[in-house]
A and B are shown apart, each in its own frame.
Chain A
Amino acid sequence: MIPVLIGVTLVISSVVYLSPGNPAQIALGQNANPEAIEELEAEMGLNDPPHVRYLDWLAGAAQGDLGTSVRSQRPVSEMIMERLPATLELAIASMALTLIIALPLGVISAVKQYTWVDSLSMVFAIFWISMPSFWLALILILLFSVNWSIFPISGRATPVFTATWLMSLALPAIATGTRRAGLLTRMTRSSMLEILNEDYIRTARGKGIGDRAVIYTHAMKNAMIPIITLIGLQIPLIFSGAVIIETVFAWPGMGRLLVNAVLSRDYPVVQGTVLVYAVIVIAANLAVDVAYSYFDPRIKYD
């Protein structure tokens, strides 16, 4: 866990240090005088060798200090904390949507293999998988916001947990979630099919306990194990998708912060945002590991 996190910081820092351009120059603008630039360079530690800069940054990061934005001069951690809730909201909503669509559809497809239900949901899955999310976002805006004025075009309504907030969250969550839902539907179906072919499912059928008990008790409990793995794999992808969708819907999350920081070459913000994304993913993977032991009696807490 820790080595991976340190590896992540190394990767981020290398990207930043190796990229062309002078942060001090960028901070002060094209017409700044050379003395001021030199002064700022010294202040920002840009003259230090890379490993010193990295260690300084790492020491700061360990204490929650991610540096200062070269654009806004505000602490990076503060900027990220402002944006974090919006990103988490979107990710959780998309994930919930993905699960609500994908799990039932995948299970039904597997149970009704070779029927029209199966074919239809697989066609839908392919359709969703292949749709670029940012394009879907635009189409959703065109239909539901511009034409029918059901949902707001963009932005995040506050305070949270209100109806208007939910309305503003709806389209971004759909746009982020559908591709994942298509994928998870197919993967759930495959996992479920594999389980349905197991001997113990045949044993269960042989007991005459009825299809429902066979599927919901015997198959589902086993299918949850691979499905949790699949859900775990979706987590970084949800955040990936959300970066683009936040931009389309002007959703004030970390993704937009990152895009703007990259476009304005605000290095400390880029560095900090990527790190926080990695921390979220690693934490989510830990949660997945815990979930395993809940569903699989073969895994015991050590």
Chain B
Amino acid sequence: MSVGHSDSDDDEGDGTPKGGQGSRVATGQLARARTVLRRVMQNRFAVFGLVVVVALLVTAAFAPWIAPYEPTEQNYDALKEPPSLEHPFGTDTYGRDVFSRVVFGSRYAVFLGVVIVGIEMLIGVSLGLLAGYYGGWTEAGIMRLVDISLSIPAIVLALAIAGMLGGGLFPLIVAVSLVGWRGFARLVRGDVKSVMEEEYIESANAAGLSDFRVITRYVLPNAASSIIVYATLTIPTVILWSAGLSFLGMGVQPPKPEWGAILAAGRGDIDSAWWIATFPGLAIMLTVIGFNGLGDGLRDALDPRQVR
């Protein structure tokens, strides 16, 4: 299990996996990759995470073949039926098959997780690079922006943005991305600042390489491993937030089979039909455990200062 000094959470920077000992030496990269893989495979929790994530991806890709029913297909002859062989997770108030809805819901989870983390990464890494590389006013301005964003509880800000934009898939993506980038910015800035102290950056500058070349060739590769780890650990947070906003009615709208939305719809029936809300919740939990396990494993494997 992980012993790292940082744990990732909802963005707040504490999650910053300390910068990996970059990969500036090209030789031995393959050996390094093999070491990382071996360490991940030795970590039971990481292997479990990997299996869950692969299963999630497979489910999302083959949802129409896995799900026995259409996710929005209503059946008034089978309302709120408890789990059975026919409906493994039961049916909801419209007679829709909860299992099929949960299976299709994996598509939203994967899509939201990947797209939102991608956008956060794009914004956060760019700003972090600028702040760390140029320092001075650029850095002060960007870090002030991070401070401001950290002062507003994440869900509060995301809720306001998503709600003001009217709710729905697109506002959800915008809202969560605009809140979550800060973690990447802080992480990358820190990494860049430590890389900048290395001599080879100075010699690269002295050799007349453009800033862009220096950043892409030397700075970014050194921050890459910690960015990958952080991204993996941010996906579960993003999935939780998205589900939370959808649950509040500010994200993906019913009848679309997003997990948070299914849960919200089953909320009123928790006393009479527990299965409607229970199974999407379990799906979220399993997914989050999976990504956390994988991310922890990657971090432990990539961080050579790890105490084991």
Contact residues of A with B, CB < 8 Å?
A: 3-5, 7-8, 11-12, 15-16, 18-21, 113, 118-119, 122, 126-127, 129-136, 138-139, 141-142, 146, 183, 186-187, 190-191, 193-194, 197, 229-230, 233, 236-237, 239-241, 243-244, 247-248, 255, 258-259, 262-263, 265, 270, 273-274, 277-278, 281-282, 285
Tell me whether A130 and B288 are in contact (CB under 8 A): yes
Q: Which residue of B lies closest to A235 (CB)?
A: B153
A-B contact pairs, 16 of them (CB 8 A): A126-B292, A130-B288, A131-B281, A132-B281, A135-B284, A138-B263, A138-B281, A146-B271, A193-B3, A194-B307, A237-B154, A265-B163, A270-B164, A278-B152, A281-B150, A281-B152
Tell me the bound Cα distance from A119 to B1 in angstroms.
8
Residues of chain A within 8 A of B5, CB atoms compared: 190-191, 193-194
- Complex partner residue of A193 from B163, B164, B307, CB under 8 angstroms: B307
- Complex partner residue of A138 from B4, B270, B285, CB under 8 angstroms: B270
Contact residues of B with A, CB < 8 Å?
A: 1-7, 9-10, 12-14, 45, 144-145, 147-157, 159-166, 236, 240, 243-244, 247-250, 260, 263, 267, 270-271, 274, 277-278, 280-281, 284-286, 288-289, 292-293, 307
A3-B144, A131-B285 given; A262·B150 CB < 8 A: no
Q: How far is the CB of B187 from chain A (nearest CB, A)?
A: 14
- Complex partner residue of A4 from B148, B161, B244, B286, CB under 8 angstroms: B148
Tell me whether A243 and B155 are in contact (CB under 8 A): yes
Tell me whether A7 and B14 are in contact (CB under 8 A): no
Residues of chain A within 8 A of B236, CB atoms compared: 130
A138-B277, A259-B159 given; A236·B244 CB < 8 A: no
A3-B144, A139-B278 given; A243·B10 CB < 8 A: no
Tell me whether B243 and A132 are in contact (CB under 8 A): yes
Tell me the bound Cα distance from A130 to B237 in angstroms.
9
Tell me the bound Cα distance from A229 to B5 in angstroms.
13
Residues of chain A within 8 A of B145, CB atoms compared: 7
Tell me whether A236 and B154 are in contact (CB under 8 A): yes
Residues of chain A within 8 A of B243, CB atoms compared: 132
Residues of chain B within 8 A of A20, CB atoms compared: 165-166
Tell me the bound Cα distance from A15 to B103 in angstroms.
35
Top 7 A-B pairs, shortest CB-CB distance: A262-B163, A135-B281, A19-B164, A7-B148, A240-B155, A130-B288, A239-B153
A119-B1, A236-B153, A241-B155 given; A138·B267 CB < 8 A: yes
Q: How far is the CB of B284 from chain A (nearest CB, A)?
A: 5
Tell me the bound Cα distance from A53 to B115 in angstroms.
35
Tell me whether B1 and A15 are in contact (CB under 8 A): no
Q: Which residue of B lies closest to A132 (CB)?
A: B284
Tell me whether B151 and A244 are in contact (CB under 8 A): no
Tell me the bound Cα distance from A275 to B6 in angstroms.
30
Most chain A beta-carbon neighbours within 10 Å: one of B1, B165, B263? B1
A233-B14, A274-B156 given; A7·B144 CB < 8 A: yes
Tell me whether B274 and A236 are in contact (CB under 8 A): no
Residues of chain A within 8 A of B157, CB atoms compared: 11, 274
Residues of chain A within 8 A of B285, CB atoms compared: 130-132, 135
Q: How far is the CB of A137 from chain B (nearest CB, A)?
A: 9
Tell me whether B247 and A244 are in contact (CB under 8 A): yes
Q: How far is the CB of A185 from chain B (nearest CB, A)?
A: 9
Tell me the bound Cα distance from A122 to B2 in angstroms.
9
Q: How far is the CB of A77 from chain B (nearest CB, A)?
A: 17
Residues of chain B within 8 A of A240, CB atoms compared: 10, 153-156
Tell me the bound Cα distance from A19 to B244 in angstroms.
21
A20-B166, A134-B263, A270-B160 given; A11·B153 CB < 8 A: no
- Complex partner residue of B270 from A5, A127, A141, CB under 8 angstroms: A141
Q: How far is the CB of A138 from chain B (nearest CB, A)?
A: 5
Tell me whether B270 and A282 are in contact (CB under 8 A): no
Tell me whether A262 and B277 are in contact (CB under 8 A): no
Tell me the bound Cα distance from A153 to B271 in angstroms.
11
Tell me whether A263 and B249 are in contact (CB under 8 A): yes
Tell me whether A129 and B156 are in contact (CB under 8 A): no
Residues of chain A within 8 A of B284, CB atoms compared: 132, 135
Q: How far is the CB of B17 from chain A (nearest CB, A)?
A: 11
Residues of chain A within 8 A of B250, CB atoms compared: 259, 262-263
Tell me whether A187 and B7 are in contact (CB under 8 A): yes
- Complex partner residue of A243 from B159, B278, B280, B289, CB under 8 angstroms: B159
Tell me whether A263 and B274 are in contact (CB under 8 A): no
Q: Which residue of A lies closest to B284 (CB)?
A: A132
A126-B45, A190-B7, A278-B151 given; A237·B12 CB < 8 A: yes
Q: How far is the CB of B296 from chain A (nearest CB, A)?
A: 9
A134-B247, A146-B270, A274-B156 given; A187·B151 CB < 8 A: no
Q: Which residue of A lies closest to B6 (CB)?
A: A190
Q: A130-B236, A183-B9, A233-B12 are in contact. List 11 more A-B contacts (CB 8 A).
A: A132-B247, A132-B288, A138-B278, A141-B270, A187-B7, A193-B3, A229-B14, A236-B151, A237-B9, A273-B156, A274-B156
Tell me the bound Cα distance from A259 to B274 in angstroms.
25
Q: How far is the CB of B286 from chain A (nearest CB, A)?
A: 8
Tell me the bound Cα distance from A225 to B292 in angstroms.
26
Tell me whether B1 and A243 are in contact (CB under 8 A): no
Tell me the bound Cα distance from A46 to B281 in angstroms.
43
Residues of chain A within 8 A of B45, CB atoms compared: 126
Q: Which residue of A lies closest to B159 (CB)?
A: A262
Tell me the bound Cα distance from A18 to B144 in angstroms.
22
Tell me the bound Cα distance from A24 to B42 in angstroms.
62
Tell me whether A233 and B13 are in contact (CB under 8 A): yes
